[in-house]
Amino acid sequence: MRRLLPGAAVVAVGLLPLAACRGSRPPSADVQTPPFVFRSLDLKQQDAGGRPAWQLTSPEARYDLRRRLARAEKPKGLIYAKGQPLYRLQADSGTVIGDGQAILLEGNLRVERLSKPEVLIQAARARWLPQQKLLLVDRRPEAYDQHGRLRAERARFRLDDDTLELSGAPRLDRWAQRFNPFAALPTSPPETTVQVASLSWQPGTGALVAPGPVVGERRMGGLPAGAQPQKLLAERLEGNTQLQTFSLLGAVQLEDSTRGQRFVGRDLRLDLSAQSGTTNLPFQLSEGSRRVKGTGLTVQALEGVASIASQCHVEQPGDQLNADRCQWNWRSGVVSAEGSVLLQRAANRQTSRATLLQGNLGERGSFAISAPGGRVISQFQVSGRSR
């Protein structure tokens, strides 16, 4: 056992030189010292409290005394948090520089989180700086959890606070179907893809922050082949990959050209598992010739229902509806409204006021208007006379 640094050691069994010495003459300065082959390598370090901090092992390593390099075959490592193993890593080859100041890992790099939730990070190459608790990945890293994938050109994995920072065209891909990243990665295209300027993610908690601009697409199930995906734009993105909740912050636009739907608003919270969206701010929602606006919106995509919390206004050719709050089913055209209901119809110049309304704003829509404990007031014109 040879100690390399405080709390670190390298274990070699069966030390063999690559080339035997020829004669007793000392080597000249221009003669390269042959590297040594170690039957195994075990490099460890402890933290200030004497607990294990990290470990790197290899079944075979070549040590270059002159350059102070150790080249390891099939290296495997452990990264600890508070004395407990948190991440396991492996690669095809590794180069240990000095006494472990830096470790270059190359070829099929895998970093697996050992505690829940399951997280896999893979890439072609990374530089591990154990003293700085930092893993620098510069060859297209990919990080998987049970519903998604993060991709970018580069990444910084800050091991001290369990934060992965991606840069260089980072993307967030999400699948509705849950999967185990250690067993089988998804082969189908993701339902949701979002591109951002940069991205910070904590694998342990799922917390995600991404400055914009945010540009995304979402492919809804059940659409015909060749249908255009939904488009989204926002100023920035925050969310939690474990909960599958994301907030599109700042100015937000969503567009579904297949259904002719468009949303314009601010600060929209999406729940991908429930397929719902919520905002507490003013918004505009449209489908074809229909226009809906108000303040405070909840959309349930599975039911096709939009609920407006206040200042509800629904408009289509020939009809206008205002109310304190209302609900609209954009699939059936059914509308219900409550509080200070005002219905205006171009046909017969009809105007009705009540506290409750239920009906359909279709071309030949019918309505049931009531005012429990009060009166319904309607005005309309027939043959030039009003009643």
- The span from the CA of 120 to the CA of 112, in Å, is 5
Exposure pattern of 266-290 as b/e (b: 16+ CB <10 Å)?
bbbbbbbeeebbbbbeebebbbeeb
- For residue 2, what pLDDT is reported? 38
pLDDT of residue 368: 59
Query: What three-state secondary structure class fits 275?
Result: coil
Helix, strand or coil for residue 349? helix
pLDDT of residue 65: 78
CA distance 130 to 32: 30
User: What pLDDT does residue 156 have?
Assistant: 97
Residue 360 · residue 383 · CB < 8 Å: no
The DSSP line for 43-58 is EEEE-TTS-EEEEEEE
The pLDDT assigned to 16 comes to 33
pLDDT digits (tens, 9 = 90+) for 307-350: 999 999 988 888 888 999 999 887 887 888 999 999 888 777 88
Place of tokens 């918004």: 283
Task: Round to whole Å and give the CA distance between 336 and 360.
Answer: 9
Helix (H) or strand (E) run with residue 193 in it: strand 192-195
Tell me whether strands 334-345 and 290-300 are parallel, antiparallel or unpaired. Answer: unpaired
C-alpha 285/C-alpha 295 separation (Å) is 11
CA distance 42 to 59: 9
Give the per-residue pLDDT at 343.
85
- Give the separation between CA 355 and CA 376, rounded to whole angstroms: 8
List the one residue out of 292, 310, 233 whose CA is nearest residue 268: 233
| Whole-structure pTM value | 0.82
Q: Which two tokens stand for residue 219?
A: 């492919």
Q: Give pLDDT tens digits along the chain (387 positions).
A: 333 433 443 333 333 333 333 334 444 444 555 556 666 788 889 988 899 999 999 998 888 878 888 899 999 999 999 999 999 999 999 999 987 889 999 999 999 999 988 999 999 999 999 999 999 998 899 999 999 999 999 999 999 999 999 999 999 999 989 999 999 999 999 999 999 999 999 999 999 999 989 999 988 766 666 778 899 999 999 999 999 999 999 999 999 888 888 999 999 999 988 889 999 999 998 888 888 899 999 999 888 898 999 999 988 888 888 999 999 887 887 888 999 999 888 777 888 888 888 887 665 555 556 556 556 565 666 555 444
Cβ atoms 59, 42 nearer than 8 A:
no
Q: Given this model, what pLDDT does residue 362 score?
A: 60
Q: Which value, to the nearest 10 degrees, does the dihedral of the CA atoms of residues 83, 149, 77, 38 take? A: 180
- pLDDT for residue 15: 35
DSSP strands (E only) in 13-162: 16-17, 36-38, 41-46, 52-58, 60-64, 69-73, 76-81, 84-90, 93-97, 102-113, 120-129, 134-137, 142-144, 148-151, 154-158
Q: What is the pLDDT of residues 146-183, one digit of tens each?
A: 999 999 999 999 999 999 999 999 999 999 899 999 99
In this structure, the strands spanning 134-137 and 199-201 are unpaired
pLDDT digits (tens, 9 = 90+) for 209-226: 999 899 999 887 666 667
Which residues is 162 bridged to in the sheet?
A: none
Contact 179, 153 (CB under 8 A): no
Contacts of 184 (CB under 8 A, 6+ apart): none
Distance CA 198, CA 311 (A): 37
Location of structure tokens 């009003």: 386
